[in-house]
Every structure is written in C-alpha cells, then in structure tokens.
Chain A
Amino acid sequence: MQFWVIQTLNSLALGGLLFLLSAGFSLIFGLMRIANLTHGAFFMLGAYLGASVMHAVPNLWLAALLVGLAVALLGGLFERGILRKLAGNSLGQVLVTLGMAFIIADSCLLIWGGDPIPILTPPALQAPLRVAGYVFPTYRVVVVGIAIVVAIALYLLMEKTRLGAMIRAGVDDMDMARAVGIPVSRLFSTVFCLGALLAGAGGVIGGPILSAYPGLDADMLPLALIVVILGGVGSLVGAFVGSFLVGFVYTFGIALLPDLAYVILFLPMIVVIAFRPRGLFGRATT
C-alpha cells in the first residue's frame, strides 16, 4: 500500500513539474505558433543556475524567483533578437529554437561539467510528513501545491485580466486581434518571457527531486511535448490534465515496467491522436 501511495505522490510531483514546463510551452505555441524546442533547455539552465545561485542565496524559493527572472530575460532577448526576425516563417523559427537548445545545453556542459549537481531540499521540508500511518516526502507535497497555485494564478490571469483576454483573443484569431488594436507584438514577448520564467523557475523547484545533470533537457522536452500533444496546444486546462496524466503514466511505467516505460508513455498519445488529433482540450484553429 505504501508503494501505491508513494508512487501516486511521485506521479503528482512529476505532473506538477511538467505543468510548470508545459504551460508556457503550450501558451507560446498557441499564441505565437512557435514550437519552442528551447523550452527543455530553459528548464535545465534553470536547474543549473539554481544550484549556483543557492551558494550565494541559500533559499530555494528566492533562488527560483531570481533564476526565473534571469531565464525570462534570456528568453526575451532571444525572442526579440532572433525569433522576431523570422516572423511568418514557422519552420525557420522551430529550427532556430532547436539550434538555441543545443547551444544552451552545450554551454551548461561547458560551465558546469558532466557530473550531476544536487540541489538541496529546503531544511524546513526535509522531515517527512506522517499522515494516517503513511510517510510522505514533504517536499513533493509542496511541489504539487505550487503547481496548483501556479495553475490557478495562470487561470485567473487568462480569464480575469485584460492581458489574459488579449492573449486569448490572439490565440483564437490573430488577424482580428491585430485589427482591433491589440499590441500583438508586445504580447508575444510577454508570453514568451512568462513561459521562459515558468520553465526556469520550474528547473529550480524540480532541482531537489531531479537535480541538475546533462541531458535533463532531453529528458524533459519529450515529456512536455507529449503533454501538449495530449492536452491540446494553447490550452491551459489541457496542459494541466496532460501533465498529471503523463506524470502518472511515466512514474508508474518506470515503477512497474522499467524496461518499457517509454513505450507505455506512447500509448495514451496514440489513443488521443487517433480520436482527437488536436488533443483532449485543443480547439480547431483557423
């Protein structure tokens, strides 16, 4: 029983981290029609930066905030400096984000070396939680909580604010949004920075569970892609449901059938693509 409880919690924690990663990916894709393959690299860069920042600022949450802002800044520069120049050329944009992903990944290897760098769990959360005779790693519970808070905040941002209304308008009909005077160009940068911020901060928050290691980007990017393929692009709800679905399938896959965990990952994807090619919550786009 303890096994199932713990694996469920692990699934939820992984799902939470995946949500931090894929919410931004999905929004960027939905709004800008850019499949941002740099997103996994942003996550990894966040983890490494977090490990370094925590030498100076031994507080995980503050480190996550600082690193998130730094990665957002980098993302903004990338979007303004390069992606913007390729507007309308979606293939070119994907290839540039792919190139950028390689550059960031190799830079991380150059700077931080090939050995994994652990990120310590905040001391206050190291003691396990005991509820009804079960033992839970406290930090994972907190990660799930963070993901839910972020999900609610993003939901409110999208549904209740003017910015969110403009983003939704842009996702639904870009040309009409431009025509009614929505500053789509500034919106692009905002969303791209927001996505990069979530990915970078997600890397730090995931640090105590995953640590920072070369290849973290290549491990996370496919999971995020599958989340978005399952959930549907541009949909927050889709990213949320997809993240936890992938979290469960992947965690239990590894625990029960370690050899074929990736094959199992691929089954829900096939089913969803077969019946709903736009994803569970994806809408037809014009």
Chain B
Amino acid sequence: MSAADMVRSRVAQIALLVVLLGAYPWLIGEFYVNLASQIFIAAVFAASLNLLVGYGGLTSLGHASFLGLAAYLSGWLTLKMGFTHGAAAPLALAGATLMAGLFGLIALRATGLGFLMITLALSQVLWGTAYRWVSVTDGDNGLARLTRPAPFGINLDHATAFYYFAALVTVLAVWMMARFVASPFGASLRGTRDQPRRMSSMGHDVWLLRWITFVYSGFWGAVSGLLFVYYNKYVHPTSFALTSSAEGLLAVIAGGSGTVLGPLAGAAIVVLLKNYVSGYVERWNMLLGIVFVLIVVFMPRGLVPGLRRWRERRSGGRA
C-alpha cells in the first residue's frame, strides 16, 4: 500500500465512522441510543485509565476518584452553590485534576502493587467521605435532581441530543489521548514502562513523566465524570466505589491494555454485559467477578490484541 493509499484509506475510515456515529440514533430506538451514550462514557473513562495501565505500566484501582469527584463537584456547584453549568464544568474539571495532581504525588512514591494499593486506599477515602460528609454530599441519598447543561441553547435532555454531545466529547477525548501516546512524550512514557532504569540513566525524569501522565489521565477521567453526571442527573457515593474503578480496569484489560481501541471495545463489553445480563440475573457484582477471573486466566492480553494476532496470522498464511 502506498502512502497516498494509506491516507485515502484513513480518510475513508474516518468518513465511515462519522456516518455510522451520525446515523446510529436514526436507525434505532431510544433505549439503544441511551445504551450508546453509556458506552461513550465508559469508553472515555477506560481510555483515560488505559494511559496509566497500558502505557505507563501503572495499574490504578482508584481511577473512579476522578470520575466521582468531577461528578460530585459539578452536582454540588450547580445544586447547592447556584452555579451555572458553564462555570461549574471547568471548576469541576479543575478540582478533579488538582486532586489527581495531589494523589499522583502520593501514589507515585511507589510503583507496582504499592501504587495499586495506595490508589485504592485514596479512592476509598473519597468514597467514605462521600458517605459521611452529609452536609455537602447528601450522604447515602446522593445528589439528586441535577440537570443537564444546554450548550449553545441545545437541550441535552433528549436522548439523541445527549448522544451527539457524548459522541463528540468521546471522539475528541480519544483523539487527544491517541495523540498523547503517539507523541514523543508517549514514547518516553512507554520507555518508563518497559525500562525505567535505562530511561532514567538516559536522563529522563521517570517520576515526572509518570506524574504528568497521572494528571492527564485524571483529567480525562474527570471529563468522563462530567458526562456521567450529566447523563444520570444523579450521583451517589458508589461512583467512588471499588466496583466503579474495577469496571474501568476490566474494560481496559478485557479490550486490551496499551492499545487505543482496546479500552473502547472493553467498555462496550462491560456496559452491554451490565445492561443485558444483569437485567436477567440481577447479580452484576458476581458476574463482574467471574468475568474478571475468566479474562485474567484465559485471555490475559485482551480482545483487541488477540483479534489482531489472529488476523495477522490469517493474512500471513495467505501471503
């Protein structure tokens, strides 16, 4: 394939994606439009976690911190402080990103399992605080009766309007994150994952690379949190819970960590499983646990790398 062909094929792919995403709500009922919106939210969340897990080699079990914090901040600012969405959204993002900066300072004192335990402990602290700090968070009742914003006067309360909004944010987020990992910075980050000592002796500040990634990942986690709270118009302490972080991690690992498409596919799988299967058996946590065990034992590299290898083997066989 020549370079021009590659460009043409890439343009065709993007055009196809735009047409598919644009036409989807017109082809199908509202239930499925909402399902797609949920997949977008989970996809942004999983993709942001993937920056740490897949490219930084830092497995976090506390990523829900940033989703939950942005959601709570947005809810609290609009509901209790009388802010408009236009002011609350940037403040919520800034607050959650700032918290990511702080959490990064603490958690990155360790790597590996230590990092995992500290991120988990930190997110559980937020979880417990959300339950107990009733005057701010309304405790176990959660912040209810929230509203969706109306950017440029467009009412997002309609499923289709929200779908387009979420799709737009998701495409932007995924594109930005793909640019991030494809950049020289992303290459250095992968270097710190594979050979931290060598990177350090080559003069890279491994800690700083990791911290910047942590903050950037927290920022996009917060973006998914805003989408989350706009979609649900409600936020409860469970959005900080271990289950919430674990769902994101499952999406990353099921889809394939360290790939751009993997977490998106993984997020779709997790959301579909949650909506369909648990509609029949009402045992989502058990199912989540079982899927976790099965994926780790039988498909440790995830779906997307698995499929890619299978395709390469097929095309290799034909050549």
Contacts and interface: CB of A to CB of B under 8 A. Distances in A.
A94 B128 contact: no
Contact of A102 (B110, B114, B289): B289
A110 B283 contact: yes
Contacts of B128: 222, 261-262, 265
Dominant SS among interface residues on chain B: helix
B142 interface: no
Interface residues on A, range: 35 or more
B133 to A, nearest CB: 5
Given A92-B300, A110-B283, A258 B132 contact: yes
Contact of A277 (B109, B249, B289): B109
Contacts of B290: 99, 103
B122 interface: yes
A105 B300 contact: no
A225 B201 CA distance: 33
Interface string B24-48: 0000000000000000000000000
Nearest to A41: B289
A91 B59 contact: yes
Interface stretch (B10-18, B66-74, B216-224, B239-247): B239-247
Nearest to B123: A222
Q: Which residue, of B118, B125, B133, has the highest number of chain A Cβ atoms within 10 A?
A: B125
B229 interface: no
Most buried by B among A107, A222, A226, A274: A222
B288 interface: yes
Contacts of A73: none
Contacts, number: 126
Interface stretch (A81-89, A148-156, A185-193): A81-89
A45 B31 CA distance: 38
A266 B118 CA distance: 10
A269 B59 contact: no
Contact of A225 (B117, B241, B285): B117
A140 interface: no
Contacts of A37: 120
Contacts of B109: 273-274, 277
Contact of A90 (B112, B120, B121, B285): B112
Interface of B: 59, 61, 106, 109-110, 112-114, 116-118, 120-122, 124-129, 132-135, 241-243, 246, 249, 253, 283, 285-286, 288-293, 296-297, 300
Interface of A: 29, 33, 35, 37, 82, 85-86, 89-92, 94-96, 98-103, 105-107, 109-110, 218, 221-222, 225-226, 228-229, 233, 258-263, 265-266, 269-270, 273-274, 277
Given A82-B297, A102-B292, A274-B109, 11 more contacts: A35-B113, A85-B297, A95-B292, A95-B296, A99-B291, A99-B293, A102-B246, A102-B286, A103-B290, A258-B132, A270-B106
